[in-house]
Chains A and B, each alone.
Chain A
Amino acid sequence: MRPFKLHIWLILLVFLFLSCEKENQKSEDIDLTQIEYNPVDFKLNTPKHFPGFTNPADNPLTIDGVKLGQHLFYDPILSLDSTVSCASCHIPNKAFTDGKSISNGVNGLIGTRSSMSLVNIAYAFNGLFWDGRSNTLEEQAIEPVENAVELIEDWDNVEEKLRRSPKYQELFRKAFGITRATDINRNLATKSIAQFQRIIISGDSKFDRVEFGNNAAYTNDELDGRDMYFDADPLTPDAECAHCHNGALLTSQQYFNNGIESVSDLNGFPDKGKGGVSNILFDNGKFRAPTLRNIEITAPYMHDGRFKTLEEVLDHYNSGGHFAQNIDPLIRPLSLSEKQKANIIKFLKTMTDTSYLSNPNIIDPFK
């Protein structure tokens, strides 16, 4: 009897030791209540000529929430090997795209789609990603971390890394008023990243100033391009662009087949786009019409980055694209001359505005 009892004690002791060790490996439950929590609204100045957007009631913008999101966005701590951050594929001076046809992530793994601009993403209301598969920024930010190509990290590990970091203990406490390090979780992390992304506003391009202000004017060539873009002048060809890329945000946020893919039928699209999400055959090959704001600096173009230059994009639209049953009726041969194509491109370049790069809340806080 006695040796057996000893045995039990021994086993228990080992267990205790083991679990202790496990506790040690995990973040200690550090009390954070000494750090001041004093949330202050973040006052977002949006351009007067922009529509409104509804901020989710359960994630109001606060100064410290945005700050935490800004740090997480630029911090490779979210990736498996600490080499890649959100900003690796969403680079500020490329309007938060990455300049690659197809983005690659950790270990140089190659994805399937081109990165997207995050400028004015607060106004997204009709689905995120090229195919609209995600609804909110809060929901969206969960994905890149565990994406098999992008950051390939496990959220459990990320939470662990963040809980152990004194810097993030403080940032999370200030942002969300958590009381213990173990309160740090993916839900709060993605909320703060969403807050950060919502403040990336761009509305001060030449296009904005001419169309909605009164202290700027287009050159003749730009104006000629503008009239074709907006189908505004009966004497120049209609380029139809403004039906899909329009409004102050320069996007309708709707899904179209703009004829870039040559397919024999609707099942033939290599990337089904919207159809892969809605499971409606007629949606196959439809993608969200992205904003053309800052298009000058977000090459290459389209969901798969197939066009290297705006000249190639204009050649595509001028050709009328590849016919498919669901091609949008506005995509048709345009009969634009070389000069007219060049003028449309000149007009597109009036949509560039990188003034947000001087906003300390938006750029890399680690630099």
Chain B
Amino acid sequence: MRNIFVLFLLIILIASCTKETGSFDLSFKAIMKDEPLILNKAYEFGNMDIKFENLAFYVSDISLTDKKGGKVELADIEFISLNNFDELSASAGKSIRFNDIPTGTYKKINFTMGVASDLNSKTPSDFDVSDPLGRTDFYWADWKSYIFSKTEGSADTLRNGNFNLKFFYHTGSDELIRSYELVEDLNVDENFNFGLEIFFDYDKLLRKGDETYFDIKAFPRNHNPSELNVITQLVNNYIKAIKFRL
């Protein structure tokens, strides 16, 4: 009888040991000129000034990998809007807390900018209206693709205080999915909330191959589904524009 009792205790102990979990925070932040990016604030942009007015994107397939190569999926899809109108909210960015993650030290994090192709083959009608992928303003039917990201604003091309040239760059389509991996020791602990900040430097995002700024005046918008140059450049710039801080 006593033995059974001890065994029982032991099992409970083991079960609770292996069930140790913690949470992990991911924060997405927009920056411009090394400062938190604030909407409707004028920023120098080559020979013109610009203001950002709408910044949002999808991130998919977010996962952590442990030392043994085991994968922990954090999320299939997240819709991230970085529309912040003041310093405080801009520096806070958008944070997501993932709970019930087995504790330990992970060796890398993976994520995809855009909607991974298995999900991109679906349409908003396949989801609840309030689901991130239920958003019809981020779906382009004739492209048969979600709009992965929107970067919108207005430009003062003459520097006379008149921000009257509206611009927008909408990315999308399977070819423009870009996946990233950060190899770094990432802790998940029962008692502490560890997290990772991911910065999006919009100053680096809107640059041509030769590092000069996009010619917003000549190409204020991308719209023709076959006109992929500008937005291909934009998604290729992620590699320089995305920065991490532990």
Residues of A within 8 A of B (CB): 49-54, 123, 125-126, 230-232, 234, 238, 242-244, 246-249, 251-254, 280, 282, 323, 325-330, 332
Contact = CB atoms under 8 A, between A and B. Distances in A.
Contacts, number: 73
Most buried by A among B39, B85, B137, B166: B137
Main secondary structure of the interface of A (DSSP, over half): loop
B168 interface: yes
What are the 6 tightest A-B residue pairs by CB atom distance, in nearest-first order?
A247-B136, A329-B166, A252-B137, A125-B130, A52-B128, A232-B142
18 contacts: A49-B125, A53-B129, A54-B128, A123-B129, A125-B129, A125-B134, A126-B130, A231-B142, A234-B224, A248-B125, A252-B135, A252-B136, A254-B137, A282-B53, A282-B85, A326-B53, A329-B152, A329-B167
Contacts of B125: 49-51, 247-248
B72 interface: no
Given A52-B129, A282-B85, A332 B166 contact: yes
Interface in B155-194: 163-164, 166-168
A249 B137 CA distance: 12
Contacts of B85: 280, 282
A325 B53 CA distance: 10
A366 B92 CA distance: 56
Nearest to A126: B130
Given A230-B141, A280-B85, A329-B166, A53 B124 contact: no
Contact of B129 (A238, A249, A329): A249
B137 A323 contact: no
Interface residues on B, range: 20 to 34
Contacts of B139: 246-247
Contacts of B224: 234
B64 to A, nearest CB: 29
Contacts of A249: 129, 136
Nearest to A54: B128
B166 A246 contact: no
B97 interface: no
A243 B142 CA distance: 11
B126 interface: yes
Contacts of A254: 137
Given A51-B124, A327-B166, 20 more contacts: A51-B125, A52-B127, A52-B129, A53-B130, A126-B130, A244-B137, A246-B139, A249-B136, A252-B135, A252-B136, A253-B129, A254-B137, A280-B85, A282-B39, A282-B40, A325-B40, A325-B163, A329-B152, A329-B167, A330-B168
A234 B129 contact: no
B141 A329 contact: no
Contacts of A231: 142, 223
A243 B124 CA distance: 14
B229 interface: no
Contacts of B136: 246-247, 249, 251-252
Nearest to A329: B166
Contacts of A52: 127-129, 134
Interface in B219-235: 221, 223-224, 226
Contacts of B60: none
Interface string B199-235: 0000000000000000000000101101000000000
B92 to A, nearest CB: 16
A52 B124 CA distance: 9
Given A234-B226, A329-B167, A51 B127 contact: yes
B154 interface: yes
Contacts of B142: 230-232
A243 B137 contact: yes
A51 B126 contact: yes
Contacts of A253: 129
A123 B131 CA distance: 12
A123 B125 CA distance: 11
Contacts of A234: 224, 226
